A and B are shown apart, each in its own frame.
Chain A
Amino acid sequence: MVTIKEFPKEEYLLKGHAACAGCGPSIALRLLFKALGNKVIMVVPACCTTVIQGPYPYTSFAVPLQNMLFEATGATCSGIAAALKIRGLEDITVVGWAGDGGTVDIGIQALSGAAERETNFIYICYDNEAYGNTGLQRSGATPYGAWTTTTPTGKKERKKNMPLIMAAHKIPYVATACPSYPVDFVNKLRKAREIKGTKYIHVLAPCPTGWRYDTSKTVEIGRLAVQTGIWALYEIEYGRFRLNPPSDRLIDKSKRKPVREYLAMQERFRHLTEADIEKIQQWVDEDWEYYQKLASNECV
């Protein structure tokens, strides 16, 4: 178990980059490099990270990074992994780093294909629950009720459960994370690196610009997401489900903070009715019943 003080001091995301103040995905990026160092080749589709790099001829990233077409992250990683294998360079970690839109919507086919082909890479979806790069339109990962520019009265559909979709591919490692829990995320990345095959990590990455809260609250909101149970930290390793701290203690509903505390902090949920909030709370409770069954191996 590593501690924060043991994280290396080197930065591979350089300061002076183009992210919004308080950007959750940027914290996740720094943690990616704290975990894996710079012996990585990254594939980044169209997403916030495309812009965070800054404009040619400069980049804020000090690792080899291939910018790529929106849908193509999974397939491009398959290509790079194949080339590295042929060249005998399999100690370099191939990392697909994509937003939620490029993962659950337009990128899902290529990711599913790469997983089925058992491509040896780590795919990380950093989820700010909207199409951030293009100005915060809804994605399949936008939660029920959230304001976005294309769902101005609140999204009417539920959030697509991407980690469980990936688990159904029977890949060796699926995990959820949040940059508010840095040690957990770093451990998961390092564990993923040691496993051969397709590894999927879904990071909830709060976005002040899209979720409409004061920029200083990013880490606090991420923490609250976990404490209310609307986001659960877990791993599915070779099909075996395990909740991680502090989520492992939240099967007991009384230990979970009410979801309204999380919703109340974000202007994107300002218009929710009492009935909406109850519905959301009910869904969270149902999810946790399911996690309980998964944790006790009653189902897969």
Chain B
Amino acid sequence: MAQIVIDTANHIAGYAAKAARVKVVAAYPITPQTTVVEKIAEFVESGEMDAEYIRVESEHSAMAACIGAAAAGVRTFTATSAHGLALMHEALHWASGSRLPIVMAVVNRAMGAPWSIWPDFSDSLSQRDTGWIQFYCADNQEVFDTIIQAYRLCEDERVFLPAMVCLEGFILSHTYMPVKIHDQEEIDAFLPPYKSGWILDVNNPFSHANLVSPEWYMEFRYMIQEAMENAKRLIPEIDKEYGRRFGFQYGGLIDKYKCEDADLIICTMGTMGCEAKIAVDNLRREGLKVGAARIRVYRPFPVEEVRKLAEQASVIATIDRHISFGMEGFLASEIKASLYHVEDKPLLAGFIAGLGGRDVTFKTIEEIAKKSLKWMEMGRVGKETVWVDLRE
């Protein structure tokens, strides 16, 4: 029986792990993820969730335990934030190199020093090269649905890669929203039992991941890249199928809003995408042709979709909740890289906003839009990267 619950994205992630019939959870507490694992602990101890919950002693051990469990043949889940994700860094590489379909909820939180508990994408975006698929969610329903979709995607034999489902700390993690928890039988029909590309088995002994010489290593990395390309194709298909079965879908790789005839497209990730939609509606009421594109999947990066978006637009404004020191926002860089080989490129204006949880509302986005439109009139971008709302 489907049910509507009113709960925080963290608790909803727990519901999703339960609905996905996860069998091993290994996790370590960190603000603002803690209520994910607390919810799962409740489910496991009440018997509602048939799983082993390993209360590990660090995030590095959390990912190591997930790798062990996934290699030994069960569906696994974990969750973390910021420094916990950073602590797992080498294990993230090991998981993707091992082609294990682990799914992890990342409750986005700014990196220190100094300590901050508020959201930005510096944690998950600094892990973009680890071979993990990355989803960015804009509301609690999407968190639930994306976790289920992620297992389906990751356990596809054309993929066999791990995935992060990212949700912003406090904005989503601790905010109550109504969410539909779909009927379990229908979820089971959508998500078959755990499958992985290999398994530790006494009847078929082998060494996994022993030394690989330069003679072979590149081919293994190429296969991961191929798997990412396959994921790029499969994500929209899975999203559509999910939409047919459950009534919720998110535009596949990019959640596009009023982009078809837009002069300006505002590119964002996560909850800023919701604010952007409000800004778009307000600006359209003023007669401005603006659209919003929320990049839902950051890895694999939706290069072809971005090129399609750029076809009619005259200017793209990217809002990055992250800065790569010494360069620019990641979203700005990757959109520029996607468009490099395109003949008729739109202008590209990069904005840095919302670091350390500074609020980014539709009002800020409207200002960003108006500035970008002015540059469009001038035919060139005034400044390649603008830091928004900075104190004097």
Q: Which of A's residues lie within 8 Å of B, judged by CB?
A: 38-41, 43, 50-51, 53-57, 59, 61-69, 71-72, 74-80, 82-87, 92, 109-110, 112-113, 116-117
B90 within 8 Å of A (CB atoms): yes
CB distance from A289 to the nearest CB of B (A): 34
From B50, B60, B210, B216, contact of A59 by CB (8 A): B210
B326 within 8 Å of A (CB atoms): no
Max count, chain B CB within 10 A of own CB: residue among A57, A83, A86: A83
Given known A72-B91, A76-B68, A78-B65, contact A86–B201 (CB-CB < 8 A)? no
Do residues A38 and B205 form an inter-chain contact, with CB atoms below 8 A?
A: yes
Chain A residues in 8 Å Cβ range of B23 = 83, 86
CB distance from B155 to the nearest CB of A (A): 15
Distance between Cα atoms of A107 and B205 in the complex (Å): 25
CB distance from B157 to the nearest CB of A (A): 20
Given known A79-B67, A83-B24, contact A110–B57 (CB-CB < 8 A)? yes
Given known A65-B205, A68-B64, A79-B66, contact A109–B58 (CB-CB < 8 A)? yes
B361 within 8 Å of A (CB atoms): no
Per the 8 Å Cβ criterion, residues 284-298 of B in contact with A are none
Max count, chain A CB within 10 A of own CB: residue among B52, B57, B74, B94: B57
9 A-B interface contacts by CB (under 8 A): A61-B207, A68-B209, A75-B61, A78-B56, A79-B76, A80-B72, A82-B24, A84-B72, A113-B61
Do residues B202 and A74 form an inter-chain contact, with CB atoms below 8 A?
A: no
Chain B residues in 8 Å Cβ range of A116 = 57
B208 within 8 Å of A (CB atoms): yes
Chain B residues in 8 Å Cβ range of A51 = 211
B236 within 8 Å of A (CB atoms): no
Do residues A63 and B209 form an inter-chain contact, with CB atoms below 8 A?
A: no
Distance between Cα atoms of A263 and B213 in the complex (Å): 39
CB distance from B51 to the nearest CB of A (A): 7
Given known A76-B64, A117-B54, contact A41–B202 (CB-CB < 8 A)? yes
Distance between Cα atoms of A59 and B205 in the complex (Å): 10
Chain A residues in 8 Å Cβ range of B74 = 82-83, 86-87
From A54, A64, A80, contact of B206 by CB (8 A): A64
B111 within 8 Å of A (CB atoms): no
Chain A residues in 8 Å Cβ range of B363 = none
Distance between Cα atoms of A43 and B202 in the complex (Å): 13
Do residues B205 and A76 form an inter-chain contact, with CB atoms below 8 A?
A: no
CB distance from B359 to the nearest CB of A (A): 38
Given known A55-B211, A80-B69, A110-B57, contact A66–B64 (CB-CB < 8 A)? no
What 0/1 readout, one digit per residue, does chain B (195-206) give for beta carbons within 8 Å of chain A? 000001110111
Chain B residues in 8 Å Cβ range of A78 = 26, 54, 56, 61, 65, 68
CB distance from B314 to the nearest CB of A (A): 49
Chain B residues in 8 Å Cβ range of A38 = 202, 205
Distance between Cα atoms of A51 and B69 in the complex (Å): 24
Do residues B64 and A69 form an inter-chain contact, with CB atoms below 8 A?
A: yes
CB distance from A208 to the nearest CB of B (A): 22
Chain B residues in 8 Å Cβ range of A85 = 52
Chain A residues in 8 Å Cβ range of B207 = 53, 59, 61, 65, 67
Distance between Cα atoms of A71 and B66 in the complex (Å): 15
Q: Which residue of B lies closest to A55 (CB)?
A: B211
Distance between Cα atoms of A53 and B212 in the complex (Å): 12
Given known A38-B202, A79-B65, A84-B72, contact A66–B26 (CB-CB < 8 A)? no
Do residues B64 and A113 form an inter-chain contact, with CB atoms below 8 A?
A: no
Chain A residues in 8 Å Cβ range of B56 = 75, 78, 113, 117
Do residues B213 and A64 form an inter-chain contact, with CB atoms below 8 A?
A: no
Chain B residues in 8 Å Cβ range of A72 = 60-61, 64, 67, 91
Do residues B64 and A67 form an inter-chain contact, with CB atoms below 8 A?
A: no
Q: Which residue of B lies closest to A62 (CB)?
A: B205
Chain A residues in 8 Å Cβ range of B64 = 68-69, 71-72, 75-76, 79, 110
What 0/1 readout, one digit per residue, does chain B (320-341) give for beta carbons within 8 Å of chain A? 0000000000000000000000
Chain B residues in 8 Å Cβ range of A83 = 23-24, 52, 68-70, 72-74
Chain B residues in 8 Å Cβ range of A43 = 68
CB distance from A220 to the nearest CB of B (A): 32
Given known A64-B206, A66-B209, contact A79–B216 (CB-CB < 8 A)? no
Distance between Cα atoms of A66 and B69 in the complex (Å): 11
From A66, A68, A69, A112, contact of B57 by CB (8 A): A112
Distance between Cα atoms of A78 and B52 in the complex (Å): 10
Q: Which residue of A lies closest to B71 (CB)?
A: A66
Chain A residues in 8 Å Cβ range of B51 = 86
Distance between Cα atoms of A117 and B76 in the complex (Å): 18
B55 within 8 Å of A (CB atoms): yes
Do residues B205 and A109 form an inter-chain contact, with CB atoms below 8 A?
A: no
From A63, A68, A79, A117, contact of B205 by CB (8 A): A63
Q: Which residue of A lies closest to B209 (CB)?
A: A67
Do residues B57 and A79 form an inter-chain contact, with CB atoms below 8 A?
A: no
From B62, B68, B205, B208, contact of A77 by CB (8 A): B68
CB distance from A87 to the nearest CB of B (A): 6
Q: Which residue of B lies closest to A116 (CB)?
A: B57
5 closest A-B pairs by beta carbon, nearest first, are A79-B68, A113-B57, A75-B61, A79-B65, A72-B64
CB distance from A140 to the nearest CB of B (A): 19
CB distance from B240 to the nearest CB of A (A): 33
Distance between Cα atoms of A116 and B61 in the complex (Å): 14
From A54, A66, A74, A84, contact of B61 by CB (8 A): A74
Chain B residues in 8 Å Cβ range of A40 = 202
Distance between Cα atoms of A195 and B388 in the complex (Å): 62
Distance between Cα atoms of A65 and B210 in the complex (Å): 9
